[in-house]
Chain A
Amino acid sequence: MTGGKEPPAVAITGLNKWFGSHHVLRDVDLTVRRSERLVICGPSGSGKSTLIRCINGLEPYQGGRIALAGTRLDGHREAEMARLRTGMVFQSFNLFAHLTVLENCTLAPIHVRRMGRHRAEDLAMDHLTRVRIPEQARKYPGQLSGGQRQRAAIARALCMAPEIMLFDEPTSALDPEMVEEVLGTMVDLAQSGMTMLCVTHEMGFARRVADRVVFMDEGQIIEIAPTDAFFRTPRHERTRAFLGQILR
């Protein structure tokens, strides 16, 4: 399927998940190549966040399998491994409010990777420079603008050297004038060859960066297509209806 010798970054087959009796992910199959950029879109409640969280090991699932770079994750230990291979960026930033930006970035490297404080701080400063907020390192999240907070959250995830970055609507909570700075950071990241799965409704970003676009509705993947084809010739009528609404 991937055509190469090395296993795909993410391989999901027959994934099923229920919240109580609510079937939120139904027979999901998805393969993401290494260094591929995928944008996932779909109406609210279609299961995009849940899918991302399953890949990250944050949510248990009841059927199917997920493999990261060939390693299956089911069971507790594997879920923990998954978290170490993936970095997650949330819609609501979720920076640790009681820690400075720098401490946010060094917490996991120090306590999970057992890195020395100085090395962890150097690493954090590198990534904060990469997202262009090195001067905010000593501030608390509450003293930053929304765009700066989300970039700090991206730097925090990068400090754990993930193989795959997962984004769950990273710009939806931002004021319009701050969306661009966060998308810019994500474009930089994409150009560095990072494997990325992005839930977003920023179709401009999808056009610019994504290799393929996934459209989800009611817990199912409705359509997967290369970006150009997805926007030019959407095949499923639900995709067309969705694009019609969102692009207007």
Chain B
Amino acid sequence: MSETFLRTAEVPPRAPPAAVGGPFAWVRRNLFSSLGNAATTLVVLALLALVLPPLFRFLVLDAVWTGGSGEACRPEAAGRPVGACWAFIHEKLGYLVYGSYPLAERWRPDAVFALMLLGGGWMLWLDAPRRGLGALFFFGVFPVAAYLLLAGAPALGLKPVPTGLWGGMIVTFVVSLVGIVVSLPLGILLALGRRSDLPVIRLACTLFIEFWRGVPLITVLFMANVMLPLFLPGDITIDRLLRPLVGVALFASAYMAEVVRGGLQAVPPGQAQAARALGLTELQILRFVVLPQAIKIVVPGIVNTFIGLFKDTTLVSIVGIADFIRVLESARIDPRWAAPSVPVTAYAFAALFYFAFCFGMARYAAFIERRLAAGEGAR
């Protein structure tokens, strides 16, 4: 080649070389692309081969699916190795879902579950019509309706059911949902307060957030249970379920506030300035410009907090609330169902229950993120 160059023949664009296709090429590219990769793949395969067959054998092949008592799940009675005792879960399912909620009234929690699915689905389905209304329903109407249905309202012909009888998944859902429904709005308010121009508000919000973040949830629950009544006049008693509910909700709000604050900081100040220049009021700027963007940015963080909250609700069992885990505990020590594999089955069921919900939340968050990544971005 010489020092200078002048193009004489145009180079037209060509199609890229065809990718080497087929499953074999895929395996090679993704699993065995280097020596280290190949070794890792082999180790992982070996581990899977070690773990999966016995697990499958225990959970499915050797499992006992029917039976009226622990008898069916004892190896000596069954005359074969016995895996998971699903018959036990099957019989106890009502108790695990409703606790001691009166049999005749169980349609009421069912109705609450249905409302929850409706409201949750409405809000989470991104293309649903009138999603604003869905959010209003979920954060406004649903909590009230759920409370009236579960606790009862003689005026509406619903017999009162004391919270002491609530149990199982109902309680787990009630505690998590109250946490979620309270912590998001309260967290947003706290985050805004922490960025306020007014020193008093800023200090109050900062103290509140740091206090709840600095104390373990167990301590919060014990304090709510033991100390809350001490501060109140003797003739006022707070419902035993309400105490940990308040604790969990405030605790979650503090974490949510920090997540939301991160989002607020990530929205460039130019956005609010442009809105101000257009004549929007500070409240309108928050509502239409800053918050929507901040919340979108922290969807993963919000869902992460929800997941943590959902699992942390198991701690309320420590202060005597019959949540799902505690109900499961008392079901598994039922002497009628004394069999070696019953405890393992119970815990496996609990693991599946929590995993299904947490994994679902995580997948939904991933889906939202992908949706938000498309299209939007630069300002």
Enumerate chain A interface residues (CB-CB to B < 8 A). 56, 58, 80, 83-84, 86-88, 90, 92-98, 107-108, 111-112, 140-143, 149, 153, 156-157, 160
Contacts and interface: CB of A to CB of B under 8 A. Distances in A.
Contacts of A141: 376, 378-379
B379 A112 contact: no
A94 B379 contact: yes
Contact of B279 (A80, A90, A140): A80
B288 interface: yes
B289 interface: yes
B275 interface: yes
Given A96-B271, A111-B280, A140 B375 contact: yes
Contact of B276 (A58, A107, A157, A160): A58
B277 A58 contact: yes
Contacts of B275: 96, 107-108
A218 to B, nearest CB: 24
A62 B378 CA distance: 35
A86 B279 CA distance: 9
Given A92-B379, A94-B379, A112 B279 contact: yes
A58 B280 CA distance: 12
A80 B278 CA distance: 9
Given A97-B378, A98-B293, A142-B376, A156 B278 contact: yes
A83 B293 contact: no
B274 A94 contact: yes
A7 B108 CA distance: 71
B131 interface: no
A96 B274 contact: yes
Q: Which 5 A-B pairs have the closest CB atoms?
A: A94-B274, A142-B377, A108-B278, A88-B277, A94-B270
A4 B377 CA distance: 48
B246 to A, nearest CB: 34
Contacts, number: 82
Nearest to A97: B379
A58 B273 contact: yes
Contacts of B293: 96-98
Interface residues of B, number: 22
B292 interface: yes
A112 B274 CA distance: 14
A15 B276 CA distance: 22
B278 A157 contact: yes
Contacts of B377: 97, 140, 142
B195 interface: no
A189 B271 CA distance: 24
Contacts of B278: 83, 88, 107-108, 112, 156-157, 160
Interface in B315-358: none
B37 interface: no
Contacts of A112: 278-280, 284
B374 to A, nearest CB: 9
A86 B278 CA distance: 8
A84 B274 CA distance: 12
Nearest to B295: A98
A157 to B, nearest CB: 7
Contacts of A142: 375-379
A202 to B, nearest CB: 21
Given A58-B277, A94-B268, A97-B376, 15 more contacts: A56-B277, A80-B279, A83-B279, A88-B278, A92-B270, A94-B379, A95-B274, A98-B376, A108-B275, A108-B279, A111-B280, A111-B288, A112-B279, A141-B379, A143-B375
- Which of A84, A93, A97, A160 has the most chain B CB within a 10 Å cutoff? A97
A84 B271 contact: no
B270 A90 contact: yes
Nearest to B288: A107
Contacts of B375: 140, 142-143
Given A90-B270, A142-B376, A142-B377, A96 B277 contact: no
A157 B284 CA distance: 17
Contacts of B379: 92-97, 141-142, 149
Interface string B267-305: 010110111111110001000110011001000000000
Contacts of B277: 56, 58, 83, 86-88, 157
Nearest to A96: B289
Contacts of B289: 96, 107
A140 B376 contact: yes
Nearest to B293: A98
Contacts of A84: 279
A149 B289 CA distance: 17
Contacts of A94: 268, 270-271, 273-274, 379
A76 to B, nearest CB: 11
